């Protein structure tokens, strides 16, 4: 499902993630563990498209989505080249008019040149698929942005919860459903039937999602007014609202009491079993990790030091050393 090959990310001289190969089978629950500062969250951010990798590629469902950016030097050409014919047209027009240029001709030629520039600019910003294919041919690649990854079927939560605090829980979920809604600016202005029906259906589905994570009846509650544990649940609900194939959870059980942790574990299982979403999580709580993971990968100092089944990891001397230090591993 997800394949990472040789992923490296440097911040200046610091190598946060170093040459990590990583694979998640479809329908599994996988975990990344490691001591603080091991590069887990950086790795997550690379997968989610927030940081571009320094080296390496990420594939989702067989599609190569992320690789280091190339050809950045050629990007200005992309803006200038398409503008040239328009400017040429404007100049030709002015020459054809000849002599003393009148007001109308002047304004018209400026408008034509400007139009060329604006369309080149818009293409470069919006980047439709055919444009991306075209620029790839001349050697310009840009890694997928976070929103591209969501469209490709990846959703995530954050270590420090990032909800839209002054929106209601229902609105939070509706934002999460963004990629599956088609409403456009004009559709909203004229409130077309399609838009109205889509909005009604979206609201219905948002309510279902809220009851899926046990937040039914809190539709109109502000996200910031929810207690901590429920904010975590809401963030997960917002992530699965985009109907992902792969869900990244960054420390879902952090700061929770044992009962809440148990509920969270059950919820993660239900997301996999009932919704068929593959799950990758970072977690420090070993009871959670050992309890639900099919597969564990251990990072330390940005490098992968071990991977395997939970029971293999538990007894792996390298892992124990990374967590407890050399002495403890020797004593074992």
**Chain positions contacting another protein, by CB under 8 A:** 48, 50, 103-104, 106-107, 114-115, 118, 121-122, 125-126, 145-147, 150-151, 155-156, 158, 162-168, 170-171, 174-176, 178-179, 181, 183-185, 187-189, 191, 195, 199-200, 203, 217-218, 220-222, 224-227, 238, 242
Please identify, using beta-carbon distances, which residue of 103 and 129 lies nearer to another protein. Answer: 103
Please identify, using beta-carbon distances, which residue of 185 and 331 lies nearer to another protein. Answer: 185
Q: Which residue has the tokens 């394949």?
A: 3
DSSP state of 142: -
Select from 18, 26, 21, 27 the least CA-distant residue to 3: 21
**Contacting residues for 105 by C-beta, under 8 A, at least 6 apart:** 93, 94, 97
Smallest distance from another protein to CB 141, Å: 18
Smallest distance from another protein to CB 105, Å: 11
Smallest distance from another protein to CB 177, Å: 9
Select from 2, 332, 313 the least CA-distant residue to 154: 2
Smallest distance from another protein to CB 160, Å: 11
Q: How many CB atoms lie within 10 A of CB 243?
A: 15
**Dmax of the chain from CA atoms?**
94
Smallest distance from another protein to CB 4, Å: 18
CA 119 vs CA 80, 127, 278: distances in Å: 11, 11, 40
Please identify, using beta-carbon distances, which residue of 19 and 124 lies nearer to another protein. Answer: 124
- Determine which helix (DSSP H) or strand (DSSP E) holds 209, and give its type and residue range: helix 193-212
Please identify, using beta-carbon distances, which residue of 96 and 103 lies nearer to another protein. Answer: 103
Please identify, using beta-carbon distances, which residue of 201 and 328 lies nearer to another protein. Answer: 201
């Amino acid at each position: 499902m997800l394949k990472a090959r040789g992923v490296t990310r440097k911040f200046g001289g610091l190598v946060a993630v170093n040459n990590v190969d990583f694979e998640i089978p479809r329908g599994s629950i996988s975990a990344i563990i490691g001591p603080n500062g091991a590069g887990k969250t950086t790795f997550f951010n690379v997968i989610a498209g927030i940081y571009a990798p320094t080296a390496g590629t990420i594939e989702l469902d067989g599609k190569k989505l992320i690789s280091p950016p190339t050809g950045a030097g050629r990007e200005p050409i992309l803006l200038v080249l398409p503008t040239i014919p328009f400017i040429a047209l404007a100049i030709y027009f002015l020459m054809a008019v000849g002599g003393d240029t009148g007001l109308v001709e002047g304004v018209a030629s400026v408008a034509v040149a400007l139009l060329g520039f604006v369309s080149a600019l818009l293409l470069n910003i919006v980047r439709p698929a055919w444009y991306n294919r075209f620029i790839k041919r001349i050697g310009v690649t840009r890694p997928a942005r976070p929103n591209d990854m969501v469209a490709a079927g990846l959703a995530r939560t954050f270590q420090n919860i990032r909800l839209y605090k002054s929106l209601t829980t229902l609105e939070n979920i509706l934002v999460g459903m963004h990629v599956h809604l088609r409403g456009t600016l004009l559709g909203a202005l004229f409130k077309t039937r399609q838009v109205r029906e889509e909005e009604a259906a979206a609201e219905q589905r948002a309510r279902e999602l809220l009851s899926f994570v046990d937040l039914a009846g809190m539709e109109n509650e502000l996200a910031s007014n929810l207690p901590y544990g429920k904010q975590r649940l809401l963030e997960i609900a917002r992530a699965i609202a985009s109907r992902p194939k792969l869900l990244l959870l960054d420390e879902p059980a952090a700061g929770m009491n044992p009962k809440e942790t148990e509920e969270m574990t059950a919820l993660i299982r239900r997301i996999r079993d009932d919704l068929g979403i593959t799950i990758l999580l970072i977690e420090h709580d070993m009871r959670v990790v050992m309890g639900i993971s099919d597969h564990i990968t251990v990072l330390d100092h940005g490098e992968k030091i071990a991977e395997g089944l939970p029971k293999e990891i538990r007894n792996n001397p390298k892992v124990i050393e990374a967590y407890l230090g050399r002495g403890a591993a020797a004593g074992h």
